[in-house]
Amino acid sequence: MTLFSVSELQSQFPNIIPDSFIEHNGAAFWMQRDARGKRLAIISNPLRSASGTLRRLQSLISNLFDGESSNFQYDHILKLCPLSPPNARALREALPSLKPTLLGLQTSAGFGDRLGLATPGHARALKNSTTKFAPIFAQQSIREMQRTARTPQQVLDDATFGAFEAGWRGVVGADADHLKTPADIDACVAAGYSFFTIDPGAYVDDTAEMLSASAIQEKVNALPWQELESTPRDFETLYAGRTVQLETGAVKISNFFLSRAAAKYGRALAHVARMYRHLAAKGFPFELEISVDETETPTTPIEHIYLASEFKRLGVKFISLAPRYVGRFEKGVDYIGELDRFEADFCAHAEIARVLGPYKLSLHSGSDKFSIYGIAMRLTRGAVHLKTAGTSYLEALRTIAALDAKLFRAIYAFARERYETDRATYHVSAQLDRAPLPDSLRDADLPELLNHFDARQILHVTFGSALTAQSDDGRARFYDAIMAALRAHENAYALNLEKHFNRHLKAFAISVA
C-alpha cells in the first residue's frame, strides 16, 4: 500500500530530492536538504506493522536509525536522520539493494570517488547506459585513502548515501582496492566491503626479465617453497613442457620461460596466498581480484598461465585478474601504444581467462582509455571490469574551473609545484614545460586545461597534496573551498560526471554475442 506520493511530500518538504524516494516494507525513505545540509527522512506506521517482516523493519527504524522523531499524518512517525556512519549501516540493512554484494562475472565498473560527492553523477551515467554494468561505487585504494585522509568506512558510507540519493536500485559492490597488508584487509572487512583487490606489486621481481638462465635459476631456488607448498623439482615436473590449448592456438611452456615466470612472480604468489587465507578466515562471502598491473614489464601469456594455475593449485579463488598489459595505462589519459599490438596481447589474456577460469580481466588506471574499451569488451565477451578513480576528481576541478577561476588557478599553481615529487608513485609522462602557466590563460579557457594531456596528469597525481595541504595558520588550503564549491553547485558537478562517464560507458556498448 502506498504511503505518500512524492508530490504529496513535496508540499511539506519542498527540498526533497525526488530520485531518492523509495517505499520498502511499509516505510518511505528519501533524502532532503535543509538548513543542516542533507538528511535522511523516514516515514513509517508502527500501528500497521502486523507481519514479522514489517515488525522487524519498525524495530530497525526505531532502534538503529539515529535521528529526531515526530508524529506525522495518519498515525505515522517521521524520523529525520543525519548522514552518519550508524545511519548508513542501518540504511544498508533496511534497503538491501544498497548493501555490497557479490557481482560474479557480470560486466562491472568501479567508480572511485576521492571527495565522497561523485556517486550521484556516477549513478546518473549508469542509468543512461545501454550496456548493463554492475557498479562498484565504493572503490578506493589504501594509498588514496591515506592521501585524502579518509577511512574505509567513510568511503563506503559516502557511496551508500550517494547511491540512495540518486535512486540507484540495482546491485552494488564495494572494492577495498590495492590492499598490501593484513591490516588493510581487517579495516575494510570491518567496514563492510564485498570485493578485495590484493596488490602484490612489491613482491614482483621485474629484474627477472634481464637475467641469464643461471641467475634466474638461483632466484627460483631461493623462493619461499614452503609457503608455495611445493619444491623446485615438483614445480618443474608439474609445468615444464606443458601445452595449454587456447581457442586460437596452443601455448608451449618451455623450461626457461617457466623459470623466469617463477622468478618474477613466485614471491608475489606467496604473498597473495597469505593475504587470501587471512581474508578467507573471516568466514563471510567475498570476491577477490589480484592485481599485478603496477609493474615495469608486461605479463606474458606464459606468466599469466603460471599465475592462474598456481593460484588454483594453492586454493586461491579469484573473480578477476589485472595483468600488466603491453603499452602504457597512464593516469587520466587514453591508452598509449599500438592498438594492434594491444589487441593481440589482450586476446591471449582473454582466452587464458576463459580456459583456466572463467574469471574477468580488469582494466586498472582504466579511466579515459576510450580507444581500447570496445576491444576489451569484445575479446572478453563481457567478462571485464573497469576501474576508474582520479578522473572523477578531475571532473570536480573542471566544475571549479568554470565556477571559481581564482581557486582553480591556485590549485593548478600548487599542483605544478608538487608534481615532480608526487609523480614518483605513478606511471605518468607529463612534463611541466609542456603545460601552460596559470597566468597565461583567460578565465574562460581554464576548463579546457582538463583536456590538456600534461596539465591533466599534473592535476591528477597531485590530488593528495592538494586535498591535504594546509595554510600557515593550520587551516585547509584548498579542501574546504573545493567541497563548499561542489556542494553549492552539486548539479553542475553531477552533470559533468554524467557527461564524462556517458562517454566511458558508451564505448563498451558493443555486441558480445
Tell me the catalytic residues.
177, 289
Task: Give the Cβ contact number of residue 99 at 10 Å.
Answer: 17
* Helix-helix angle 182-191:152-166, to 10 degrees: 40
Separation CA 172–CA 119 (nearest Å): 12
DSSP 393: H
Pairing relation of β-strands 243-245 and 68-71?
A: unpaired
Task: Give the Cβ contact number of residue 247 at 10 Å.
Answer: 11
In 30-181, where does DSSP find H-type helix?
A: 52-63, 85-94, 119-128, 142-148, 152-166
Cα-based distances in Å from 480 to 107, 245, 416, 484: 36, 57, 20, 6
Separation CA 202–CA 178 (nearest Å): 11
Contact between 112 and 156 under an 8 Å Cβ cutoff? The reply is no
Cα end-to-end span (Å), the chain: 42
| Nearest Cα residue to 293 out of 204, 385, 185 | 204
Q: Hey, what long-range contacts does 276-283 have (CB within 8 A, 24 or more apart)? A: 276/198, 276/316, 276/317, 278/182, 278/185, 279/185, 279/189, 279/196, 282/189
**DSSP string of 91-118?**
HHHHSGGGS----TTS-EEEE--SSS--
Pairing relation of β-strands 77-81 and 108-111?
A: unpaired
Task: Give the three-state DSSP class for 342.
Answer: helix
Contact between 48 and 2 under an 8 Å Cβ cutoff? The reply is no
Pairing relation of β-strands 16-24 and 27-34?
A: antiparallel
C-alpha cell read off for 263: 622468478
Q: Which amino acid is at 305?
A: I
Separation CA 492–CA 43 (nearest Å): 30
Separation CA 55–CA 49 (nearest Å): 5
Contact between 512 and 382 under an 8 Å Cβ cutoff? The reply is yes
What contacts 348, CB < 8 A, 6 or more positions away? 246, 251, 301, 304
